[in-house]
Amino acid sequence: MVKFSDFAQTLQSSDIAALLKLTEQPEVISFAGGLPAPELFPIEEMKKVDVAILEKEGRQAVQYGTTEGYVPLREEIAKRMKQAFFVDCKAENIVVTTGSQQALFILSQILVNKDDTVLMESPSYMGAIMAFDPVCPKYTEVPTDDKGMIPEELEKILASDAKVKMIYVIPDFQNPTGITWPMERRKAFMDIINKYDVVVVEDDPYGELRYDGEKLPSLKSMDTQGKVVFLGSFSKIFMPGLRLGWTVANPEIIDKFVKFKQAVDLGTSTFGQRQAAYFINMFDLDAHVTKIKALYAKRRTLMYESMQKYFPEGITFTYPEGGLFTWVTLPAYMDAKEMMPKVIAKQVAYVPGGIFYPNGGNANHFRLNYSNMPEDRIVEGIQRLGEVLKEELR
C-alpha cells in the first residue's frame, strides 16, 4: 500500500469514465468526446512541413528549447491574436503550452491558494475543474443564463467574497453549453472585474469557429488593466495531437508562469512548435479554418434540426453559433447519468451534464458534440436518442 498525498487520495475512478469506456467501439455513435473531425487534418501538407523543418533547421528543431517557446511561433500567434481576437500583443507576452490544459493547470497553481475561491460559469468545462482541483480551491458557480454569466450575480459574489482570486470563463461557444456572451455582457463583465483584485482566465479554444452571427471582441481585447489571461489552442483549428496551446498575459504573470512551467516540463516540444509555425508559413491556416467551419456548421445545423425533429416536447437544447457542442436540458425529474445504460444499449453516447458543475447536482442535462461524427450518423444517433427520451419522459 502506497501512502499517497492527501490530494492524490481524492483522485478516484469515475463511474462516468467507466461508462464512456464502453462507448469507444467504432460501432457506437459517439457524441461524447470533444474531438475535431480527423478527415480535415492536413496530413499531406504535414509531410511537406516536417521535411522542411528538418531540412531548414535540422538539429536545432529537436534540441532543447526555451521554456517560453519557439519565437517564430510566438510571433505568428501575436499576429493571430490581433487578427482573430483583436488583441495587441507581442511575442514576449506569449508562452506556448503543452495544450491549453497545461495553462489551466499552471494558472491555478500560481494564482490560487488552498481554500481561495475560483469563480466559474455554471456549468463549466470539466477539464478546467480537473486542472484546478489540485490546489483545493472553493468553487463558486456564478449563475449563468442563455447569455453567459449574469453580471449582477457576479458583482454580488465579488462584493461578498474577498477570497476570489480567479474567474474562469469561456465567452465564445462555451463548453459544455455552446453559449456565447453578447457584447453588452462582455462590457458589463469587464466593468465589474475592473473594480476588484482578481485575474480573469479567458479560455477561447473555439473562438475562430463561428458559423453565424458576428465576431465579438475577446475580453482580453477590452482589458485595460492587464487582468485578463487569454488561452488559445491549436487543437481545434489545426491538430490536437501536437498538444499546442498558448497563453497571453501581462509580464508579471508571464514571468511566474514561465518559472512554473519550467518545473512542470521544461518546455513544449520544439519540433511540435515548428510544425505549427511552418504550416502557417507554408500553407494557409485561415483557409484551413474556413474548411473546418463549413463542415462543422453543416453538422451543427443537422444536429439541431434532427433534435427538433426527433426529440419529444419538454426537452430543450441550445443553438450554438460556433464551437463543438450543444447542451440538452431535460425536465428536472430526469437524470442523464442514470439514463446512460439505456442510451449505450442503443449504441449512442453523450456526456451526462452533472460533471460540468464543480459542486455537483444538475443531473438533468447532457452535452452533445457534433464535430466528430459524419452526417448520416448524426441523424441516426439523434433519432435513437429521441427514442430513449420518449420512453423516459413522464
Taking CB under 8 A as the binding criterion, the range among 80-88, 146-154, 257-265, 386-394 that sits at the site for its own copies is 257-265
Residue 113: φ, ψ to 5° = -95, 160
Q: State which of residues 30, 93, 101, 221 lies at the interface with its own copies (CB under 8 A).
A: 101
Using CB under 8 A as the binding rule, the residues of this chain from 5 to 34 that contact its own copies are 5-8, 11, 13, 33
| 152 is a contact residue toward its own copies (CB under 8 A) | no
Q: State which of residues 16, 84, 130, 393 lies at the interface with its own copies (CB under 8 A).
A: 130
Residue with cell string 449582477: 152
Residue 144: in which H helix or E strand, if any? strand 144-145
Instruction: Return the number of the residue (36 or 148) whose C-beta is nearest its own copies.
Output: 36
Taking CB under 8 A as the binding criterion, the range among 49-57, 87-95, 186-194, 213-221 that sits at the site for its own copies is 49-57
Q: State which of residues 83, 113, 194, 359 lies at the interface with its own copies (CB under 8 A).
A: 113
CB of 368 to its own copies, least distance (A): 18
| 60 is a contact residue toward its own copies (CB under 8 A) | yes
| 197 is a contact residue toward its own copies (CB under 8 A) | yes
Q: Are 276 and 244 in contact (CB under 8 A)?
A: yes
| 63 is a contact residue toward its own copies (CB under 8 A) | yes
Q: Are 162 and 113 in contact (CB under 8 A)?
A: no
Using CB under 8 A as the binding rule, the residues of this chain from 201 to 240 that contact its own copies are 235, 239-240
| 61 is a contact residue toward its own copies (CB under 8 A) | yes
CA distances from 201 to 141, 167, 248, 355 (A): 15, 6, 10, 20
Q: State which of residues 143, 241, 331, 374 lies at the interface with its own copies (CB under 8 A).
A: 241
Bridge partners, 138 (sequence order): 117
| 134 is a contact residue toward its own copies (CB under 8 A) | yes
Nearest to 165 by CA among 222, 115, 121, 92: 115
Q: How big is the chain, counted in residues?
A: 394
Bridge partners, 326 (sequence order): 368
| 47 is a contact residue toward its own copies (CB under 8 A) | yes
**DSSP assignment, residue 351?**
E
* Cα separation, 289 vs 273, whole angstroms: 19
CB of 160 to its own copies, least distance (A): 18
Instruction: Return the number of the residue (256 or 346) whose C-beta is nearest its own copies.
Output: 256
Name, in order, each residue with C-beta under 8 angstroms of 183's C-beta and a sequence gap of 6 or more: 216, 217
Taking CB under 8 A as the binding criterion, the range among 39-47, 147-155, 347-355, 376-384 that sits at the site for its own copies is 39-47
DSSP-derived pairing of the beta strands 348-349 and 29-30: parallel
Taking CB under 8 A as the binding criterion, the range among 128-136, 170-178, 334-342, 344-352 that sits at the site for its own copies is 128-136
Q: Are 216 and 198 in contact (CB under 8 A)?
A: no
| 253 is a contact residue toward its own copies (CB under 8 A) | yes
Name, in order, each residue with C-beta under 8 angstroms of 151's C-beta and a sequence gap of 6 or more: 185, 188, 189, 191, 192
CB of 358 to its own copies, least distance (A): 14
Using CB under 8 A as the binding rule, the residues of this chain from 79 to 98 that contact its own copies are 98
**Residue type (1 letter), 215:** K
**Residue type (1 letter), 316:** T
| 199 is a contact residue toward its own copies (CB under 8 A) | yes
| 39 is a contact residue toward its own copies (CB under 8 A) | yes
Residue 341: φ, ψ to 5° = -55, -40
Using CB under 8 A as the binding rule, the residues of this chain from 258 to 317 that contact its own copies are 259-260, 262-272, 275
Q: Interior CA angle at 67 toward 61 and 70, to 5°?
A: 40
Instruction: Return the number of the residue (27 or 252) whose C-beta is nearest its own copies.
Output: 252
